[in-house]
Structure 1
Amino acid sequence: MTAGDLITRDGQLEWRGTLLGAGTAYGWRALEGWLDLPQMRGGDIDRPGQHGAFPGQLLAQSRTITYSYVISARRATRDQYAAALERLRAATTPTENPDEEPLVIRLAGRTWQALARCTRRLIPTGLAYDTGYVAGAVQWVATDPRLLELPGYRGSTTLGAVDAGGLGFPLRFPMRFGASARGGAITWANTGTAEAWPVWRIAGPVRGPSITRRDTGQALEFDPDWIIPAGQIVEVDTLARTVLFVGSNVSASDRLFTRGWFSFPPGREIQAVFDSAAPSSDSRLSVTVHNTAM
């Protein structure tokens, strides 16, 4: 089971295999921080001897998400009420591992995910608790404020085939010089609101592979003499800036000679071209990327 598989309708959250919100024991009261813009940090520098400042980079800080819920014995038996509280406590108890986990929420027909950690759980234990009523909250913090839409896009391509070049006689205008490539490209449009950073996978055999964003010329180019052997896959995570052999996690970052890291901007269709220093019909480039929102 993958993250978000339990969600069936709007107004539901999934966390650690537990479903909250619409149609569950944890009735929806409020959700804060999900569609809100996170706190921003700026790099502005004051103008010496003048009003104002020089504008610096503006970056989002961590995202804090707070879900307010109601558990009521009026909608369930006493045993079900107690069991719901125990499930909530179990799902929100911190582990010894600092890794973030998927928090998935569906609103307005679209399902989005943040990687987060539960940092606060409120289960009031006043008089209402004994009568079978709890109005509390759960809070998460996502160090990466981006929201990724599920499911993500997955595409692949082989190296482009090259048509025969040269000039034909009698000459006719317009004339075409050299060879033209067919295939070897992946085209995708980010329908989110923020930059989407793809994860590329290059499957061997291939010598000196490269991935180029066609409109800007930004490129990820490997050593032209370096070979990814048959049966091996190298994963390039453009957000984490890592280059690893899949399965062994051995780094191949030193073989990436040109580091023109590029993303897919929102609201535009972008084409990335797969090429190599030597042709190979078995080489393949695949990508995983999500519509991204902030």
Structure 2
Amino acid sequence: MAQQALGTVQWGDLTFGPGTPYAVTALEGLDDLPEIRAEDVDRPGQHGDYTGPDWTGARVITMRLGLHTDSPDQLRDLSLALRAATQPQAQPAPLQFLQQGTLVWAKVRKRSIPYDAEYLWSIGDAALEFYCADPYLYGLEEQSASTTTYSPSVGRTYPMVHPRSYGTAGQSGRLTAANKGASPAFPVLRIDGPVASPAIEQVTTGGILTLDATLQAGEYLTIDTRSRAVLLMGTSPRRSWVRAGSAWPVLCPGVNELAYRGNALPGAPGQSSLLTVTWRDTSL
């Protein structure tokens, strides 16, 4: 359960917070709303604006640390470990607030580890700035639900070809996904064949994602609804399979229902395709 005290923070192999030599003395930007990119325009000849949708920019989190140890040499070791863990990055990495139940994807953009000869005996301080191009706050737990394609009869048991956990199976052709955050969540969809022309409907809000695709048994397709990447076997781009006019499903705050439909392949009697939906609770 989330608590008011910040608790433990995990960055790579380093842990900050209670019980560690890195005390978190201040934190800004985690619960703040990132800067808004407004789409407002002036009302010609009138007071006020025409207002459009508000979008947020990147999230910036600043963290101040107090370093505590028993000797100057150990203090130097803490500084070197912190320096090694905060190198420039090619890709964002998870910054996890464990007791808060929150994760952000971040890069270190600034690091300050000052030297003060008057005080550097067994205590010191440091400051870090984390840049989050993706401003969303995610739940630590990755959730998953799955269902076979719709059938007018009772759903079948899908043969597990690969060692993979699919979560709790839903009613044949239907599943529910609960987003406990305050913002829409962008799920990752996985479709396992055999199936032709698979379609995923966001029943709660409307809109259908339809694919002009045929997957054989043992083939699968992954769909990232945030980046809108469509990958066959997790690597080969197949964005062109998305039928024009399709809607990319998102999970609104609360309980969402999704429906999965597809056509059986000739020569594959008794086999059902499987849809797996994976997401995290999402907020801004």
TM range (shorter): 0.7 to 0.9
1:135-284 equivalent positions in 2, closer than 5 A? 135-163=125-153, 183-223=172-212, 226-247=213-234, 249-257=235-243, 258-266=245-253, 268-278=254-264, 281-284=271-274
Report the 3-state secondary structure (helix = DSSP H, G, I; strand = E; otherwise coil) of the residue aligned with 2:237: coil
Gaps of 5+ in 1: 1-8, 165-181
Q: Partner amino acid for 2:75?
A: Y
Q: Partner amino acid for 2:220?
A: I
Q: Measure how far apart 1:207 and its partner are.
A: 0.6
Q: Partner amino acid for 1:284?
A: L
Q: Partner amino acid for 1:260?
A: A
Q: Measure how far apart 1:150 and its partner are.
A: 1.1
Of all paired residues, the percent bearing the same amino acid is 32
Q: Partner amino acid for 2:203?
A: R
1:29-44 equivalent positions in 2, closer than 5 A? 29-44=25-40
Q: Which residue of 2 is the match for residue 171 of structure 1?
A: none
**Are the equivalent residues in 2 in contact too, given 1:208–1:278 (CA < 8 A)?**
no
- What do residues 166-197 of structure 1 show as CA deviations (whole Å, max 9, x unaligned)? xxxxxxxxxxxxxxxx5211102211111111
Report the 3-state secondary structure (helix = DSSP H, G, I; strand = E; otherwise coil) of the residue aligned with 1:161: coil
Indicate the structure (1 or 2) with the bigger Cα radius of gyration: 1
1:86 matches 2:73: no
Q: Measure how far apart 1:77 and its partner are.
A: 4.0
**Are the equivalent residues in 2 in contact too, given 1:159–1:281 (CA < 8 A)?**
no
The CA distance in 1 between the partners of 2:28 and 2:60, in whole Å, is 8
Q: Partner amino acid for 1:206?
A: V
State the Cα RMSD in Å: 1.9
**Are the equivalent residues in 1 in contact too, given 2:111–2:127 (CA < 8 A)?**
yes
Q: Partner amino acid for 1:285?
A: L
The CA distance in 2 between the partners of 1:193 and 1:124, in whole Å, is 39
1:73-112 equivalent positions in 2, closer than 5 A? 73=69, 76-95=70-89, 98-107=90-99, 110-112=100-102
**Are the equivalent residues in 1 in contact too, given 2:194–2:264 (CA < 8 A)?**
no
Length-normalised TM-score, structure 1:
0.83
Q: Which residue of 2 is the match for residue 177 of structure 1?
A: none
The count of corresponding residues between Structure 1 and Structure 2 is 259
Q: Which residue of 2 is the match for residue 293 of structure 1?
A: 283
Q: Measure how far apart 1:209 and its partner are.
A: 0.4
Q: Which residue of 1 is the match for residue 56 of structure 2?
A: 60
Gaps of 5+ in 2: 155-170
Q: Partner amino acid for 2:86?
A: T
Q: Measure how far apart 1:259 and its partner are.
A: 2.3
Q: Measure how far apart 1:79 and its partner are.
A: 3.7
Q: Measure how far apart 1:210 and its partner are.
A: 0.6
The CA distance in 2 between the partners of 1:22 and 1:77, in whole Å, is 20
The CA distance in 1 between the partners of 2:249 and 2:255, in whole Å, is 14
Report the 3-state secondary structure (helix = DSSP H, G, I; strand = E; otherwise coil) of the residue aligned with 1:209: strand
Q: Measure how far apart 1:129 and its partner are.
A: 5.1
> Could you tell me which of 21, 28, 34 is aligned with 1:25?
21
Q: Partner amino acid for 1:256?
A: V
Length-normalised TM-score, structure 2:
0.86
